[in-house]
Amino acid sequence: MIYLDYQATTPLAPEAREAMLRWLDGPGGTGFGNPHSPHRYGRQAEAAVELARDRVAALFPPGGRVIFTGSATEALNMALLGSEQARAGRAAAVSAIEHSAVYETAERLAGGRHVLPVGEDGLLGRIDDLPGDIGVVAVMQVNNEIGTIQPMVEVAQMAKQANAFLVCDAVQAAGKLPIAMADAVAISAHKLHGPKGIGALWLRNGVDLDPLVTGGGQEDGLRSGTLSPALIAGFGAAAKLAAERMEQDAVHIESLWQRARELFGDWTLNGSADARWHGNLSLRRDGLDVARLMSDTRNVAFSAGSACASGSGKPSRVLQAIGLPANLAKNTMRLGFGRYTTGEELEEAAAAINAAAQAQGA
């Protein structure tokens, strides 16, 4: 089986797995302690959590703090619903290609949701003026479906002019690119070779939120509940490795991108070829039945669109936002590759996919 679905999740780094094992100890071990307990077991677990917090924080710009969450979706909900501006009833401006964790959550705000359009290249155009009731701006750094990278410096300037709270979904950027500066940034461990079930919300110094989850007051009172030292240790190890390997990984992925563009030269690319993360290859082909293609190439794991929306039967909202009608959106596949993808795997996968597409007459 060849894995080419890195936007959905990434393989667990061996270093992250190793970091987790001690904190999964059973009877006779010392790693099962509650990190909020005052005895030695608890203090050891707490030390592991804080080491990991420092490692995750190192992925972000200076001048903020990391709050551990159960996922990036939870982190984005915390930021959007807990901000002072949202509580004051002000609206949120979000890009048309945001992940549902932002797009749908923003609609819950008392002030409602204002959608910022993108062009055929999947990028926000120049936005000179926002409606006067906008109090929150939410724009993702790297899109999960088509890989486009938004001009976050310009977005930050726009938010500042509107005196708006800026939220950034950096899930697909973390560990690959320097993370954009915002008031609140969400990331997820399993998208950078860490474990599932753990995410983080970075908050700029001076930012306060109302908590969504109350109880024991853990995580600066913003997210109550007992932390998992094992998941957090794995997250920290993955973050440390990503920071150390960022340049090396980027070189490897660029070589895969260049070869993939040759192997799929007669397919149409969705979104900008330049302002994008080159580990994301969103392609379409007229007349292609992607569901059948996936069935005919079962030795290759790839996506027909966003993993979060798979099985819904609905055309991708992101692809529609860049101007594709439903039939062309359904002709799209997404290949995602990364650190552990080999050139040989890419060659073999491309041969299988192209042969299956041609057999359809597409």
> Do 253 and 152 have their domain in common?
no
CATH number of domain containing 320: 3.90.1150.10
More confident position, 30 or 193: 193
How many domains is the chain built from?
Answer: 2
> Do 111 and 55 have their domain in common?
yes
Given a cut of 80, is residue 290 above it in pLDDT? yes
> Do 56 and 200 have their domain in common?
yes
Given a cut of 70, is residue 90 above it in pLDDT? yes
Average pLDDT score over residue span 325-340: 93
> Do 252 and 217 have their domain in common?
no
Confidence of residue 306 (pLDDT cuts 50, 70, 90): very low
Of the three residues 174, 206, 241, the one that is the final residue of a domain is 241
Q: What is the pLDDT of residue 307?
A: 46
Closest Cα partner for 296 from 258, 353, 239, 347? 353
> Do 115 and 70 have their domain in common?
yes
> Do 228 and 320 have their domain in common?
no
> Do 137 and 271 have their domain in common?
no
Q: How far apart (Å, rounded) are the C-alpha atoms in residues 276 and 299?
A: 27
Average pLDDT score over residue span 51-57: 98
pTM for the model: 0.95
CATH number of domain containing 110: 3.40.640.10
> Do 316 and 229 have their domain in common?
no
Closest Cα partner for 175 from 146, 159, 199, 139? 199
pLDDT digits (tens, 9 = 90+) for 71-82: 999 999 999 999
Q: What is the pLDDT of residue 313?
A: 64
Q: What is the pLDDT of residue 327?
A: 82
Of the three residues 241, 258, 275, the one that is the final residue of a domain is 241
In this structure, of 1-15, 292-306, 331-345, the range with the lowest mean pLDDT score is: 292-306
pLDDT digits (tens, 9 = 90+) for 110-122: 999 999 999 999 9
Given a cut of 90, is residue 194 above it in pLDDT? yes
% residues pLDDT > 70 (the chain)? 98
pLDDT digits (tens, 9 = 90+) for 102-146: 999 999 999 999 999 999 999 998 777 788 899 999 999 999 999
Q: What is the pLDDT of residue 127?
A: 76
Confidence of residue 330 (pLDDT cuts 50, 70, 90): confident
Query: Is 308 annotated in the active site?
Result: yes
Domain encompassing residue 356: 2-7+244-360
> Do 122 and 33 have their domain in common?
yes
Q: How far apart (Å, rounded) are the C-alpha atoms in residues 266 and 245?
A: 33
- Active-site pick, 12, 307, 308, 362: 308
Of the three residues 223, 241, 259, the one that is the final residue of a domain is 241
Under 8 Å between Cβ of 72 and 235 = no
Average pLDDT score over residue span 49-55: 98
> Do 290 and 311 have their domain in common?
yes
> Do 199 and 212 have their domain in common?
yes
> Do 226 and 281 have their domain in common?
no
